[in-house]
A and B are shown apart, each in its own frame.
Chain A
Amino acid sequence: MKRLLGVVTAVGLVAGLVMAFGIAPREATQGNVQRIMYLHVPSVWVAYLAFAVVLVASVVYLVRRAEAADRLAHASAEVGVLFTGLTIATGSIWGKPTWGTWWTWDARLTTVSILFVMYLGYLLLRGMIDDRERGARFAAVLGIVAAFNIPLVHFSVYWWRTLHQPPSLMKPGPSTMPGVIVAALLVNFAAFTLLYVYFVTRRARVLRLEAEAEA
C-alpha cells in the first residue's frame, strides 16, 4: 500500500511537471517565471490542508485521548511547516522578478510568516516537554488556536491593501484563468495532495515506531 501510494504520488508529480512546463502556455504578462505558480499555489494548499488536519486531529485527541490522533496532528504539522516554508521561499523567488523585491511586509506575506512561526513553535513545544501525554495535550491546544490564523492568511488579500494578488482559484465563483492553466494547476493540486498523504502516512508510522521504541 505504502509503495503503491509512493508510485502514484511520483506519477502525479511527473504529470504536474509535464503540465507546468509542457502543456501550460507561457503567460503573456509575466513570461515563463509565472510557471512558479504551479509549485507555489499547490504548496500553500497543502499547508492549509495540513493545518486543518492538525485542528481536527487535535480536537479528536482532546476528546478521546487517542494516540493515533496525536500522531496524525504531529505528522501533519511537520509536513505543513515544510510546505509553508516552501511557499514562502518560492513566493520570494517569484516576487523578485515580478515585484522587484525578495520580501515586503505585505499583509499576505506577514500573515503566512506568522502561520509558519506558530507551527514551528508547535513542533518546538512538542520537543520541549518530556512527558508525552502532557506534551500532546499542550500541542493539541496550540494546534487548535493556531488554526485561527488560516482564514486570516487566506482573506488577508481582501481585508488589507496588499501587493499580493487575490486568489485566482481558491475563491467562490468561476476562475478567470484560461482552462489549460486551471487544468495544470489542478493536476499539481492533486499531485501535492498525494504527496501530503504519503509524507504524513510515513511520518505517522515513524512516530509510532519511536513511541514503541521508547516504551
Chain B
Amino acid sequence: MTADNWSFVFAAYGLAVVVLVTYWRFLVRRERELSEGDTLRRHGSGMPEPQTEHRSP
C-alpha cells in the first residue's frame, strides 16, 4: 500500500488557491481604482458620464 502523502496534496492545492485568489483580488482592486479615477477625470473635465441606453418598457 502506497503512502498517501496528503500533506503534499494540500500544499499543492493550497498554493494554487493562494496564488489564484491573490491575482483575482489584484485584478478587482486595480479595475476599481482605475474606474474610480476615470469617473473623477470625467467630473473634473466636464465630460459627460457614459450613459447606459434607457428603453421604455
Show the binding face of A for B, using Cβ within 8 Å: 26, 28-33, 35-36, 39-40, 43, 82, 85-86, 89-90, 93-94, 96-97, 195, 199, 202-203, 205-206, 209-210, 212-213
Show the binding face of B for A, using Cβ within 8 Å: 1-6, 8-9, 11-13, 15-16, 19-20, 23-24, 27-28, 30-31, 34-35, 37-38, 41
Scoring B4, B9, B15, B34 by chain A CB atoms within 10 A of each residue's CB, the highest score goes to B9
Given contacts A30-B2, A206-B34, contact A35 B9 (CB under 8 A): yes
Assess the A209–B35 pair: CB atoms within 8 A.
Answer: yes
Dominant secondary structure of chain A at its interface with chain B: helix
Assess the A31–B31 pair: CB atoms within 8 A.
Answer: no
Contacts of A199 in B (CB 8 A): 23-24, 27
Q: How far is the CA of A205 from the CA of B31 in the complex (A)?
A: 8
Assess the A90–B4 pair: CB atoms within 8 A.
Answer: no
Contacts of B2 in A (CB 8 A): 28-31
Q: How far is the CA of A56 from the CA of B5 in the complex (A)?
A: 41
Contact of A97 among B8, B13, B15, B38 (CB under 8 A): B8
B30, chain A: closest CB distance, angstroms: 5
User: Residue of B at shortest CB range from A32?
Assistant: B4
Assess the B30–A206 pair: CB atoms within 8 A.
Answer: yes
Q: How far is the CA of A26 from the CA of B5 in the complex (A)?
A: 12
Q: How far is the CA of A23 from the CA of B13 in the complex (A)?
A: 17
Contacts of A82 in B (CB 8 A): 19-20, 23
Q: How far is the CA of A97 from the CA of B5 in the complex (A)?
A: 7
A21, chain B: closest CB distance, angstroms: 9
Assess the B31–A209 pair: CB atoms within 8 A.
Answer: yes
Q: How far is the CA of A199 from the CA of B21 in the complex (A)?
A: 11
Given contacts A206-B34, A213-B37, contact A93 B11 (CB under 8 A): yes
User: Residue of B at shortest CB range from A79?
Assistant: B23
